[in-house]
Structure 1
Amino acid sequence: MNSFLSLAVLTIALSYVTALTQEELDKVREPMLNFIKECSKDYGVSDDELKAIKESGKVDGVEPCLIGCVFKKAGFIDGDAKFLPDKIKELSKKYLSNEEDIAKFGTIVDTCAAAIDEQVTGGDPACIRSKLVLECYAKHREELIKVTN
């Protein structure tokens, strides 16, 4: 898996916790947008809808299978639709600015992984788990804002 594609998913998650500096975000912006657009086409999500999601900062309206698509392509979900937190934590070490941010993000990744590490029923497990992970990151947003500011 191309590391820029994997980083796209990391950036999606990190954008909800705002731990990346502008310089760090700039490193992955173009590949991330291409990757998200690819999955958006697969799930009928328009550019305007993506823009609205980004501007709102809320994950409630995000199509779960769009998130699942991004996570699957990045390899953050295995063949059994299980979330792979170690991969996200490893990538974060390359792009977060300092050890405190890395450690805090790692704790949040572990917390979110544990929160969704149960059997999921009703629908595509990869979609459901992906949405739960993104919702969990959004809940922990303030923790990283305090660390990075």
Structure 2
Amino acid sequence: MKKWFLELTVECSKEHPVTKEEIQMLKDHKIPDNKNVKCLMGCVFRKIGWLDDNGMFSFNNAYKTSEEEYPDDKTKLEKAKNLYSLCEKVNTAEVSDGKEGCERSSLLAKCLIENSSKMGFVVQ
């Protein structure tokens, strides 16, 4: 798990408290089926700009993050574009919490975790 992601997780856990076990599950790339965990992820995705005010995944903002992380690696940028394109499908999923974005964030996290290694990324 990236350091900045972990820092945001700790920050967001103040508003969306989760157990140590749930944090460990996230570190192990497992998504607990718990509203607070889903909303915690929503908080993190909002803070990095990947979730907009309507609770939708922002492909453009996610790609900008990759451009900042891999400015000189066209191969990784192309793989990131493919990954984000694949995960954009979460925007068409039926969710019950609408703009809150907790459920969509959980779907996004699952998509990213399930497909990152297939796209050549090391899931940390």
TM bracket, shorter-chain basis: 0.7 to 0.9
Structure 1 counterpart of 2:91, one-letter code? D
Q: How high is the TM-score relative to the length of structure 1?
A: 0.66
Q: What is aligned with 1:37?
A: 10
**Aligned with 2:67: secondary structure?**
helix
Q: What is aligned with 1:57?
A: 29
Q: What is aligned with 1:10?
A: none
Q: What is aligned with 1:76?
A: 50
Q: What is aligned with 1:46?
A: 19
1:127 maps onto 2:102 in alignment: yes
What is the alpha-carbon distance in structure 1 between the residues aligned to residue 21 and residue 31 of structure 2?
A: 15
How large is the Cα RMSD of the aligned pairs?
A: 2.4
Structure ranking higher on relative contact order (CA contacts 8 Å, 6+ apart): 1
Percent pairwise identity: 23
Aligned-residue offset at 1:72: 1.7
What is the alpha-carbon distance in structure 1 between the residues aligned to residue 33 and residue 95 of structure 2?
A: 20
Which 5+ residue runs of structure 1 have no aligned equivalent? 1-14, 16-24
Aligned length: 118
What is the alpha-carbon distance in structure 1 between the residues aligned to residue 54 and residue 26 of structure 2?
A: 28
Q: How high is the TM-score relative to the length of structure 2?
A: 0.78
1:1-149 → structure 2 map (5 Å cutoff): 15=1, 29=3, 31-54=4-27, 56-61=28-33, 63-96=37-70, 98-113=73-88, 115-118=89-92, 120-125=94-99, 126-145=101-120
What is the alpha-carbon distance in structure 2 between the residues aligned to residue 93 and residue 37 of structure 1?
A: 25
